[in-house]
């Protein structure tokens, strides 16, 4: 798409519009809000409000999310092979987003159908929510790759996206608890229902705005792409080391974050005897994390993407180990907050850089194997995030059962130790997987060369076309 008056191709020679970047980048924040609500509250909602058995919930988390994750790569391949009059990825982003908002509301309705009825309702609604949480990431990665090939555009969208994620994470971490109390008026279940109903209405309208604002500029359409199959795309994944590095890194970070978020309410409520710390920690850590994200371009320039990510992982391993030795005192609270701030700052510095990795892997795969697998790789991203949240929720629920956790009573020393280990030592061990980025060697210069060759290939190869959907 050339415009001589404005000077070249939008998304290659010129940046895409700022407003488009701002609106598009908000989508990750919305999906993160629902992930946070699941991580922070769903286990508590099931065990303490719905009165479901913790062991059953733990098994359900793992099995249902694993099944939901299994269909995600298939969905991704289907998106890569087909286009619609509204675009290749854009309409599915809207459909999956609306599905997420509705299922998110239904999941947090505290039905009174008896023990068996509550269990069935929770299982069915959780299955639906898990499907939309899993497949929702499939169109996003392909959409990012089809909007722009410029790394500065992608970095800007990732920084904006991280800001949106932080804002909506604060709504979930800091705002949800007091809002639920206000709406519930002493009935937590009613509070959850009204809160999620309002959220559903707001986010449904916002997904429509995203759909209207985003353009796909670089959509690969070729005979080879029409023959694209799950077997071929899996082969392209196994040969694409950048995709493998990215999904491993994201899995490690998602698993640690999910586990800490899930066990957090139990840790604050029973170890520090202060459930209000959930909102306090979420509010205090937002500023250093936001500051870190704004420093990401400078850190990348000084250190490079790989060193930036390696440093962030190392700092968070050290901070996690230190958390195990924090005492259940006022000074311990202060120490925990300081460690959380340090970890959040360095992870914030790395987060936007991390978001550029999978689009680079998508471009590399298209350049190397002549197949646009943005939908599949986006689905793969969601697959590993889903597996991570399922595993974290299942581990926490099962460990709570093993250490004899009982709701709303003073916990034993063994129970508290189990909760503390899940908050500190286990995340530190999982973080070590993040050092897989030591094998990353895709430089910005090499990626620019690949992006330019892709554009030239589209322009001069007869059976490949460049489509634009507005």
Model pLDDT for residues 384-409, shown as the tens digit of each residue: 777 777 778 778 888 888 888 888 88
**Residue 468 in domain:** no
What's the CA gap between 246 and 115, in Å, rounded? Answer: 42
Query: Quick check: 470 pLDDT over 50?
Result: no
**Residue 63 in domain:** yes
Mean residue pLDDT of the chain comes to 82
**Residue 4 in domain:** no
- Check residue 191 and give its pLDDT: 92
Q: Look at 90 and 235; give whichever has higher pLDDT.
A: 90
Which residues span the domain enclosing 424?
19-213+226-459
CA angle at 37 for the pair 32 and 43, rounded to the nearest 5°: 135
Mapping DSSP to helix (H, G, I), strand (E, B) and coil, where does residue 84 land?
Answer: strand
Query: Quick check: 305 pLDDT over 80?
Result: yes
Q: Which residues, 6 or more positions from 325, have their beta carbon under 8 angstroms from its beta carbon?
A: none
Residue holding tokens 């392909």? 142
**Residue 291 in domain:** yes
Mapping DSSP to helix (H, G, I), strand (E, B) and coil, where does residue 410 land?
Answer: coil
What's the CA gap between 158 and 293, in Å, rounded? Answer: 9
Whether 222 and 460 have beta carbons less than 8 Å apart is answered as no
Q: Look at 355 and 86; give whichever has higher pLDDT.
A: 86
Q: Which residues, 6 or more positions from 327, have their beta carbon under 8 angstroms from its beta carbon?
A: none
361: domain CATH number? 1.20.1250.20
> How many other β-carbons are positioned within 10 Å of the β-carbon of residue 300?
22
Question: Which of 373, 140, 425, 129 is CA-nearest to residue 267?
Answer: 425
- Check residue 338 and give its pLDDT: 95
- Check residue 464 and give its pLDDT: 37
- Check residue 64 and give its pLDDT: 86
Q: What is the arithmetic mean of pLDDT over 347-364?
A: 82
Query: Quick check: 463 pLDDT over 60?
Result: no
Whether 225 and 465 have beta carbons less than 8 Å apart is answered as no
What are the DSSP calls for 362-387, one per residue? HHHHHHHHS---HHHHHHHHHHHHHH
Query: Quick check: 140 pLDDT over 80?
Result: no
Residue holding tokens 């982003």? 93
**Residue 14 in domain:** no
Q: What is the arithmetic mean of pLDDT over 97-126?
A: 92
The number of domains in the chain is 1
**Residue 170 in domain:** yes
**Residue 310 in domain:** yes
**Residue 302 in domain:** yes
């Amino acid at each position: 798409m050339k415009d001589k008056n404005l000077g070249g191709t939008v998304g290659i020679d010129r940046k895409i519009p700022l407003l488009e970047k701002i609106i598009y980048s908000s989508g990750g924040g919305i999906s993160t809000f629902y992930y946070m609500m699941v991580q922070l509250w769903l286990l508590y909602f099931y065990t303490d409000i719905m009165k479901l058995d913790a062991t059953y919930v733990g098994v359900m988390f793992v099995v249902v999310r694993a099944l939901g994750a299994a269909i995600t790569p298939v969905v991704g391949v289907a998106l890569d092979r087909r286009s619609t009059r509204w675009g290749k990825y854009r309409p599915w982003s809207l459909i999956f987003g609306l599905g997420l908002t509705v299922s998110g509301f239904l999941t947090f309705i505290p039905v009174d159908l008896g023990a068996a009825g509550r269990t069935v309702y929770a299982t069915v609604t959780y299955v639906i929510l898990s499907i939309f949480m899993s497949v929702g990431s499939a169109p996003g990665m392909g959409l990012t790759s089809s909007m722009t090939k410029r790394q500065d555009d992608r970095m800007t969208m990732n920084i904006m996206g991280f800001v949106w994620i932080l804002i909506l994470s604060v709504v979930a971490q800091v705002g949800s608890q007091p809002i639920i109390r206000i709406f519930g008026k002493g009935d937590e279940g009613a509070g959850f229902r009204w809160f999620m109903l309002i959220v559903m209405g707001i986010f449904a309208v916002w997904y429509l705005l995203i759909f209207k604002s985003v353009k796909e500029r670089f959509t690969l359409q070729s005979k080879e792409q029409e023959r694209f199959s799950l077997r071929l795309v899996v082969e392209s994944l196994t040969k694409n080391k950048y995709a493998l590095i990215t999904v491993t890194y994201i899995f490690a970070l998602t698993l640690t974050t999910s586990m800490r978020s899930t066990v957090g309410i139990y840790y604050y409520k029973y170890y520090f005897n202060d459930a209000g710390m959930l909102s306090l920690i979420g509010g205090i850590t937002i500023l250093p994390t936001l500051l870190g994200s704004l420093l990401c371009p400078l850190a990348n320039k000084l250190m490079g993407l790989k060193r930036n990510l390696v440093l962030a992982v190392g700092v968070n391993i050290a901070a996690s180990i230190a958390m195990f030795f924090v005492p259940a005192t006022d000074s311990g609270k202060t120490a925990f907050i300081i460690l959380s701030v340090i970890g959040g700052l360095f992870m914030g510095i790395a987060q936007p850089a991390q978001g550029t990795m999978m689009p680079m892997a998508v471009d590399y795969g298209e350049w190397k194997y002549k197949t646009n697998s943005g939908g599949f790789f986006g689905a793969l991203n969601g697959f590993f995030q889903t597996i991570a949240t399922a595993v974290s929720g299942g581990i926490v629920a099962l460990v709570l059962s093993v250490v004899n956790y009982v709701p709303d009573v003073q916990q034993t020393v063994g129970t508290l130790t189990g909760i503390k280990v899940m908050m500190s030592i286990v995340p530190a061990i999982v973080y070590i997987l993040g050092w897989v980025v030591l094998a990353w060697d895709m430089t910005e210069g090499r990626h620019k060369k690949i992006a330019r060759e892709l554009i030239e290939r589209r322009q001069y190869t007869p059976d490949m076309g460049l489509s634009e959907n507005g």
